[in-house]
Structure 1
Amino acid sequence: MSPPPEFQALIIALSLGMLVGLQRQWSKSQLAGIRTFALVTLMGAIAAQIGGPEPVWLIAAGLLGLVALLITGNILVRESAGSGQTTEVAMVVMYLVGVTVVIGNTAVAVVVGATVAVLLQMKEPFKAVVSRIGEEDLTAILQFAVISLIILPILPDRTFGPYDVLNARTIWLMVVLIVGINLAGYAGFRLLGQKRGTLLAGILGGLISSTATTASYARTPSADPVRTRAAAAVVLLATAVVFVRVLIEIGAVSGTLLATAIAPIGLLLVLAVGLGLISLKGTGDQEGSAVEKSNPSKLAPALFFALMYGGVLLAVAAAEDWLGGAGLYGVAALSGLTDMDAITLSTSELVDAGRVAPGTAWRAIVIAGISNLIFKGGIVVSAGNRSLSRRVGASFAVLAVASVLLIVFWPS
């Protein structure tokens, strides 16, 4: 037999207050612990319950009383030791959580209460992260906010241009997606820095830029065979991450294409990971040269990608219209030389619009991948030592042959 609804609300409020109070008491807060937070949350719940159908005045009165108590308590605590305002703010929030439970938004109250507890507990990790953030990093975060929260909402959401495939908001949404992925890799690189091992270097390199990673690690000295194997592993693992990135981009734009492409592209991903791990064996925890990477949220590169994406989208639509699949494959081969993002996103969007068949689209993306392998292989041959060229070249050849076999023999 469950308790009456009004008591259920009080129990939930009490539990949430005790959860947050537990964290505060564990962190040795001088102002409030388990009992105080439990009472504050109950106070909010009771104020909402006894206030009748219009409890606003009583809720406001309780909130003012709580603020007065907090001011008094804060003055007394500060006489003996300095403290921040986190506990006081948390108490006000938990009072409102108690109110929210009674009003009927129990799910919201539970989420907010748990979030408060997590935020309070994450003080030291947050401090550690912030201590590593430099001016350029903060600029990158703020510029991403401009790109995603200011520019994107004001762009018109309508198609225009030849073939009616260009849409300013959709194009910029793709920019936000790519810059977001790049920013995640950049953040990982900045936080983990030079202490990353070979495996992590490959993963971050693939998120940032597999081409830049290949160029950086191709300069490994030939006199060190262990570092040569490690460099090959980084290049191959970065290439494997490209396939993960491609699947994420496809899934973000077209679920239809993802359902068709996940199996063949997933096989290439598994093969690339396997080749990378084979090369990784016996290298230990090597540290390689840093991948040169600047702020990924700068407006100029974002505008360049928007123009490139729009151009590829238009070229793909025109090629499909004039030449069918063969024309699309040609565009994919050219655009994939240095970048996989534009062709992946453009073909995904056209599949979602019903202009390109999913089987044709994923084959075009794989062709772009072959082109990208050839380009990166050329970088290794021209800049790398002979041993590295053999290792990477052989692995890239295996991936390219596997890609061709999938294109030809995979069921349409």
Structure 2
Amino acid sequence: MNFDSLVFINFAIALGIGLLIGAERERSKGAGLEKTSEGIRTFTIATLLGAVTGSINFWLFIAAIFCVLVFAAIAYYKQLTEHPGITTEIALIFSMILGGLCVSAPDLAASLAVTMAILLAAKNSIHGFVVSILSREELNDFLILAASTVIILPLVPNDFIGPFNAINPRNLWLIVILVMVVGALSHILLRLLGTRIGLPIVGLLSGFISSIATVTTMAERGKETPELMDGAIAGAILSSLATILQLVILLLIVSLPTLLAVKWPLIFGGVSIAVYGVFMSIKAFHGSKSRTLSPPTKTFSATTALMLATVIGAVLIISSSLKNWFGLAGLIAVSGIAGLADVHAPTIAVATLVASGKLVASYAAIPILVAFSFNSFTKACMAAISGTRQFWLPVSSGLMVQVIFTWLGWWFTL
């Protein structure tokens, strides 16, 4: 393909961009006294102007942008009382810039043009979602998540540091982001499903944030409203299924060999608690069809995510030191103690030791299963403390079944 053909294609892309964005603005500019001046012809000419001036000289392109900027400002000032918004004027200037970009990067210009057209066309949907559906607290949470991912993550060093070279700051921050993302996704699902949602689904989704907290909440719900007892039991049980699923996600990110080492224990434990939870859910649906929970207003807990990362860092240091001093027995002991509060921290600590070459993957199963068992014991205790006997017995039985099948899965791999 010769040079003239390439220039023709670039101009054709610029023409398509102007027509695309101009067509959207033509449908949105109103009629009568409320009609704005910029439409499909204005946008198409501006985009072609950007392509032509950009292909001739850079400073001519800058001068053309300045002229269009002046004309857009004058048009905006004349229509200020009728149209206080500035979206069309900004879109016109950006369209001209995209026309100039067609000279050097037509693919990028076309992608940006389609993105802008979608944003412009989705005005009512976006405004309705932000104003009517999205709360201020949810918006703040999503801004925190965006800042954590886009701003902070690239600045975090990706190397093992600290005592015994046990901590990788980037991995710890990825865990913080992962916890927030899982909580946000669970919250979005709850919002999409609406307020008429069963306790079992709420328990499953909330278990991704904190299974222990979910068990405690479900126990209190069952105590306050005895008619919802079956649903509360099902929600508490399914929160332990979320624990299994979250462990799979974490190990997949941190250390695939560790995940393969505990594959069968997690499968056995996950299937057993899933069957038990589905049985209790069916019982709950038959016993109480109209009772539902409103979705929570909090998207995720950044404090919980940071605390988890802090615990993981401490467990990593302690695990590495005990591993050096006492071998595998010390690692098992600290995993059990840490598992009383949270199963993810010791699991990630063990997986990190495997990833750094300080522990053989085949030795990772026992510390992780010990942490998982101790964590289940904590859930059973919270069920007994926060709930009634009617709640505690089935929940503890389900947790016991899960732990037994988890160890059976380990025995199966021997």
Instruction: Tell me, yes or no, if structure 1 residue 406 matches structure 2 residue 412.
Output: no
Residues 120-159 of structure 1: matches in 2 within 5 Å? Answer: 120-131=120-131, 136-137=137-138, 139-141=140-142, 159=160
Equivalent residue, structure 2, for 1:115: 115
Counterpart of 2:335 in structure 1: which amino acid? A
State the partner residue of 2:276: 275
| Paired position in structure 2 for 1:48 | 54
Q: Is the 8 A contact 2:268 2:406 kept in 1?
A: no
Q: Is the 8 A contact 1:183 1:297 kept in 2?
A: no
Q: CA deviation at 1:408?
A: 1.7
Q: Distance in 1 between matches of 2:271 and 2:314?
A: 32
Q: How does 1:137-286 map to 2 (within 5 A)?
A: 137=138, 139-141=140-142, 159-182=160-183, 185=186, 196-221=197-222, 227-258=228-259, 261=262, 264-266=265-267, 268-281=269-282, 282=285, 283-284=288-289, 286=291
Check if 1:353 corresponds to 2:356: yes
CA drift at 1:339: 1.3
Separation in structure 1 between the aligned mates of residue 52 and residue 274 of structure 2, nearest angstrom:
58
Unpaired stretches in structure 2, ≥5 consecutive residues: none
Is 1:71 aligned to residue 76 of structure 2? no
Query: Which deviations, in whole Å up to 9, do the C-alpha atoms of 1:129-182 show, x marking residues without a partner?
Result: 433555554554555566566666666655444422134554444434434444
User: Do the aligned residues in 2 keep the contact of 1:231 with 1:288 (CA within 8 Å)?
Assistant: no
Deviation at 1:12, TM superposition (A): 2.9
TM (normalized to structure 1)? 0.81
Aligned to 1:365: 368
Counterpart of 1:119, as a letter, is L
Aligned to 2:323, what secondary structure does the other structure show? helix
**RMSD between aligned alpha carbons?**
3.7
Written as runs of structure 1 = structure 2, the 5 A alignment for 1:278-317 is 278-281=279-282, 282=285, 283-284=288-289, 286-288=291-293, 296-298=301-303, 304-317=307-320
Tell me, yes or no, if the aligned pair for 2:233 and 2:394 is still in contact at 8 Å.
yes
State how far apart, in whole Å, the 1-side matches of 2:271 and 2:84 are. 52
Whole-angstrom distance in 2 between the partners of 1:263 and 1:66: 65
Q: Secondary structure at the match of 1:219?
A: helix
- The CA deviation string for residues 308-344 of structure 1, in whole angstroms up to 9 with x for no partner, is 2222112222343344444333332222222123123
- Check the 8 A contact 1:9/1:101 in 2, yes or no: yes
Q: Give, in angstroms, the shift of residue 346 of structure 1.
A: 1.8
> Alignment partner of 1:237: what SS?
helix
Counterpart contact for 2:237–2:273, Cα < 8 Å: yes
Q: What are the Cα deviations for residues 36-65 of structure 1, in whole angstroms up to 9, with x where unaligned?
A: 44443333233333x1xxx31232133223
Paired positions, count = 403
The letter for the 2-side match of 1:388 is F
Quick one: distance in 2 between partners of 1:271 and 1:38?
62
The 1:193–1:311 alpha-carbon spacing in structure 2 relative to 1, beyond 3 Å, is farther
Q: Does structure 2 retain, via aligned residues, the 8 Å contact 1:205–1:291? A: no
Give the 3 Å change call, closer, same or farther, for CA 24–383 of structure 1 in structure 2.
Answer: same
Aligned partners of 1:217 and 1:288 also within 8 Å = no
Quote the sequence identity (%).
Answer: 28
- Whether 1:13 and 2:19 are equivalent positions in the alignment is no
1:93-112 equivalences under 5 Å are: 93-103=94-104, 105-112=105-112
Query: What SS does the corresponding residue of 2:103 show, helix, strand or coil?
Result: helix
Using the size of structure 2 for normalisation, the TM-score is: 0.80
**Distance change in 2, residues 1:138/1:320 (3 Å):** same
Partner of 1:375: 378
User: CA separation of 1:194/1:8 partners in 2, compared to 1, >3 Å: closer, same or farther?
Assistant: same
Please state how far the C-alpha of 1:218 moved relative to its aligned partner.
0.8
Determine helix, strand or coil for the equivalent of 1:218.
Answer: helix
Amino acid at match of 1:113: A
Using the TM superposition, name which of 172-181 and 283-292 deviates more: 283-292
Distance change (3 Å), C-alpha of 1:121 and 1:237 = farther
How far did residue 389 of structure 1 move? 2.8
Is the CA contact 1:17–1:37 (under 8 Å) kept in the aligned structure 2? yes
Aligned residues of 1:141 and 1:297 also touching (Cα < 8 A): no
Instruction: Rate the CA distance shift 1:78–1:135 in 2: closer, same or farther, 3 A.
Output: closer
Change (3 A) 1:39 1:236: farther
Contact 1:232–1:388, Cα closer than 8 Å, also in 2: yes
Gaps of 5+ in 1: none
Q: CA deviation at 1:205?
A: 0.8
Once structures 1 and 2 are overlaid, which stretch shifts more, 330-339 or 284-293? 284-293
